[in-house]
Chains A and B, each alone.
Chain A
């Protein structure tokens, strides 16, 4: 009976009225990401502080969106940036083109670049979307990292429902 079923529907909606909303209040509550989440890139350093990147451009070659630009230069004894002979003098990622596929990570022979967990990447201009080496290198500038809620992402997430 269509009429009876419709009336049942009112009971269903009425019960839902008293449930706790599942909304996650985003700017206050930042949802934890999974460990293999692919967010903003990071350029890593060795334990002694030297950059892992040697400017080989394999990441740029692997990039399907063509968003990585690497210009390599020779290390000297006075100015030593990386462990090898060469280093990346310019390392830019155009984040407005990046598709977060992670191929750069796979292509890198030194594990110098990985995709991190930061997902707040909005900018007010296109120029600001081109991230320079200084922005990508560890340690991150605090304003450039997304604080992630200290919850185990495999647990059921408490959807912080204030307000």
Chain B
């Protein structure tokens, strides 16, 4: 906490609310974009261009009854969405949107990140995996076969893809000689190139594996609505359901942020201020994720496993070997 306790608290409050606002906007954007991809309009009734649709959805979800189904474990059932949402939001504690900056019109200098631990990347992946506890526990405590299948899929998918994800990222870590996200961003401006070029294979593995990690199409098997009703959140409704959805979107935003830092230089860029570059790069990844959703069908479960273990893992390992050889030669 380089800014002291009070200021950090204020920054955390602002950032968490900003992320929630962006989440609301993203649900609108995704529905509009998916509509246009499918040659229809998408929501356009509430407010100009349907922009107030998220608020209408929120009012609807809040007003719904919070049902506790029969045969559940109440404590786990209620805690699960909170755990997922907390873990997804907490990732933003270590994501830098810039370095030290002066607030315009004043002499106040603040850091554009909440904290910058030297193991930020580990924190990101630890919290990313923690949110799967919410999916697992939520599906387990619902006492429903669909929920159970969904959470089992979520966990086995996590295990298969987390390995490749970590291996893909290690290449970047070795080139940057740092686990800190600011350190990685600065290493890219020091080396004078974005790591997407030397680490292109790692980048591909990261994109595929992180899609599985945030369980979006084509890897949204934990909630495959065609097979499992709604997967692990079948038995959830109202705001608890909204919290699960929220957690997934926030995880998407977080992984887009991490991807921009690891492979596209993060907040480093010419002409524009750092946070603007960061937001542009994040928007790029989020739009790609929506494009993928509009294009690819959900893949079969055994294919998901074989892609994870037979394609991504060898590719990530190869990338790691080549990178370590290169780094050793450079040193």
B-binding residues in A (CB < 8 A): 6, 9-10, 12-14, 16-17, 19-23, 25, 161, 163
- Of B37, B40, B49, the residue contacting A13 (CB under 8 A) is B37
CB–CB B295/A21 < 8 A: no
Residue of A nearest to B35 (CB): A21
| 24 A-B pairs whose Cβ atoms sit less than 8 Å apart in the complex | A6-B296, A9-B295, A9-B296, A10-B295, A13-B37, A13-B291, A13-B294, A13-B295, A16-B36, A16-B37, A17-B33, A17-B36, A19-B39, A20-B39, A21-B35, A21-B36, A21-B39, A21-B41, A22-B39, A23-B40, A23-B41, A25-B41, A163-B44, A163-B49
Give the chain A neighbours of B33 by CB distance below 8 A: 17
| Per-residue contact bits, chain B 233-246, to A (CB 8 Å; 1 contact, 0 not) | 00000000000000
Of the listed residues A12, A13, A161, the one surrounded by the most CB atoms of chain B closer than 10 A to its CB is A13
- Complex CA distance for A87 and B49, rounded to whole angstroms: 54
Query: Given contacts A10-B291, A21-B40, could you give 16 more A-B pairs where the C-beta distance is less than 8 Å?
Result: A6-B295, A6-B296, A9-B296, A10-B295, A13-B295, A16-B36, A16-B39, A17-B33, A20-B39, A21-B35, A22-B39, A23-B41, A25-B41, A161-B41, A163-B41, A163-B44
Q: Contact residue range for chain B?
A: 10 to 19
CB–CB B36/A14 < 8 A: no
Residue of B nearest to A22 (CB): B39
Q: Which 10 A-B pairs have the closest CB atoms?
A: A23-B41, A13-B295, A23-B40, A21-B41, A163-B44, A9-B295, A13-B294, A21-B40, A19-B39, A13-B37
| Per-residue contact bits, chain B 37-60, to A (CB 8 Å; 1 contact, 0 not) | 111110010000100000000000
Residue of A nearest to B38 (CB): A16
Give the chain B neighbours of A163 by CB distance below 8 A: 41, 44, 49
Give the chain A neighbours of B39 by CB distance below 8 A: 16, 19-22
- Complex CA distance for A42 and B41, rounded to whole angstroms: 36
Residue of A nearest to B294 (CB): A13
Quote the shortest CB–CB distance from A148 to chain B (angstroms): 22
- Which residues B69-84 have CB closer than 8 A to chain A? none
**Given A9-B295, A10-B291, A163-B49: A17 in contact with B37 (beta carbons within 8 A):** yes
Give the chain A neighbours of B41 by CB distance below 8 A: 21, 23, 25, 161, 163
- Complex CA distance for A12 and B296, rounded to whole angstroms: 11
- Complex CA distance for A25 and B41, rounded to whole angstroms: 9
Give the chain B neighbours of A22 by CB distance below 8 A: 39-40
Give the chain B neighbours of A9 by CB distance below 8 A: 295-296
Quote the shortest CB–CB distance from A163 to chain B (angstroms): 5
- Which residues B288-304 have CB closer than 8 A to chain A? 291, 294-296
- Complex CA distance for A13 and B296, rounded to whole angstroms: 10
- Complex CA distance for A13 and B288, rounded to whole angstroms: 12
Residue of A nearest to B303 (CB): A2
- Complex CA distance for A163 and B38, rounded to whole angstroms: 16
- Complex CA distance for A21 and B40, rounded to whole angstroms: 4
Quote the shortest CB–CB distance from A11 to chain B (angstroms): 9
